[in-house]
Amino acid sequence: MSDRRFRITTAFQRYVANPVTRLMPFQTLLETTGRVSGQARRTPLGGKRVGDSFWLVSEFGVKSQYVRNIQADPRVRVRIGGRWHHGTAHLLPDDDPVARLRTLPRGNSAAVKALGTQLLTIRVDLTD
């Protein structure tokens, strides 16, 4: 069931939700470098800035394309409130992602918790 949920959710996100939400001027975006293409890849997501860090939880962990891109090159950009910030992403497999979701915006957290099968916390240390 979890593999089927992954395929359905990622197809919906890739072809329906992400193309629309990428166009919204204040949607939070994570920009990674494609591990194969080397091109910028922008993923709409939810999370929260806390000081000089941005926190998020990936619903499919290392199966998510943006997580695999981070593994290849942790240098990222995050658009928060319409402004781009450079940073370095860190995968935190020892962090409790369910507890972390309780500290992040409720709407996105509920969707990640409901759809996710391999939750993984990610912290982006912002440099500007």
Residues 26-64 have pLDDT tens digits of 689 999 999 999 999 999 899 999 999 999 999 889 999
pLDDT tens column, 57-86: 998 899 999 999 999 999 999 999 999 999
pLDDT value of residue 9? 75
- pLDDT of 94 strictly over 70: yes
User: Given the structure tokens 């990610």, which residue do they identify?
Assistant: 122
Q: Which residues contact 103 (CB under 8 A, 6 or more apart)?
A: 48, 55
**Confidence tier at 92 by pLDDT (50, 70, 90):** very high
* Single-letter code of the amino acid located at 109: S
Full-model pTM: 0.84
d(CA 18, CA 8) in angstroms, rounded, equals: 14
pLDDT value of residue 93? 97
